[in-house]
Amino acid sequence: MRVVLLGPPGAGKGTQAQIIAGRMSVPAISTGDIFRANVSGRTELGRQAKAYMDAGDLVPDEITVAMVTDRLAEPDAKAGFLLDGFPRTIAQAEQLRDSLAELGHQLDRCLELVVDEDELVRRLSGRRMLVDGEWVQRDDDKPETVRHRLEVYREQTAPLSGFYRQAGLLSQIDAIGEIDEVTDRALTALGFTDDGAAGAPAAS
């Protein structure tokens, strides 16, 4: 199954992506994580991406699309994947559609996590990550950058909701609530039952 997870910064995409991908037995592919790993590993890709990320801007499509295309060509993504943080622009979504089509594949679903903006600002400003045993704030979770990231989301990424609705692929779920409640809504929207089978009718 090939799924895109859509939702604003702070919607809980990373958390849900890990859990849902585990249940689907496909890799969770997060462009944000790949970029951050490249920044801390001081690679050329990391060097190119860092300034955009620190400012809360999107890394240019050219760089991002090439990176995702490489990742999707790896053997573990052949049978399916869950994309977290990609696509983030209509151009990225079109490129994803076209490169999947070249391989004779297509996306099965876009799952959108819906959370209102007040809740997002609250979550992002309080978010900390464990790095080398210490809780630190991500540089781009500072209040000014958070506001800018939400603007970038509204302008460049939110239109993907309409793009995938038109393609007949969109499912939206309310992403406010306990983590496992949101996971249940997500799995239901994706047609997963308790035994992990996709699309099978729910056990009676």
Active site residues: 13, 88, 127, 138, 149
Angle 98-99-104 from CA coordinates, rounded to 5°: 90
State yes or no: cis peptide before 143, omega within 30 of 0.
Answer: no
* Among 2, 9, 81, 113, contact with ligand ADP (rule: CB under 6 A): 9
Tell me the backbone φ, ψ of residue 6, rounded to 5 degrees: -115, 145
Angle 73-78-80 from CA coordinates, rounded to 5°: 120
Q: Residue 151 has which token pair?
A: 């603007």
- CB closer to ligand ADP out of 86 and 192: 86
> Which one of the spans 53-61, 114-122, 182-190, 195-203 is the region binding ligand ADP (CB under 6 A)?
53-61
- CB closer to ligand ADP out of 31 and 192: 31
Q: Does 123 bind ligand ADP (CB under 6 A)?
A: no
> Which one of the spans 58-66, 98-106, 115-123, 171-179 is the region binding ligand ADP (CB under 6 A)?
58-66
- CB closer to ligand ADP out of 156 and 172: 156
* Among 23, 52, 105, 172, contact with ligand ADP (rule: CB under 6 A): 52
Q: Residue 61 has which token pair?
A: 């499509």
> How many Å apart are CA 71 and CA 140, to the nearest integer?
24
Nearest CA among 178, 184, 157 for reference residue 5: 157
Q: Does 164 bind ligand ADP (CB under 6 A)?
A: no
Give me the least distance between CB of 85 and ligand ADP, in Å please.
3
Tell me the backbone φ, ψ of residue 56, rounded to 5 degrees: 80, 15
Q: Does 32 bind ligand ADP (CB under 6 A)?
A: yes
Cα 144 to chain center, whole Å?
22
Q: Does 35 bind ligand ADP (CB under 6 A)?
A: yes
Q: Residue 186 has which token pair?
A: 């997500």
Residue nearest ligand ADP, CB atom distance: 32
List contacts with ligand ADP (CB under 6 A).
Answer: 9, 31-32, 35, 52-53, 56-59, 64, 85-86, 88, 92, 140, 149
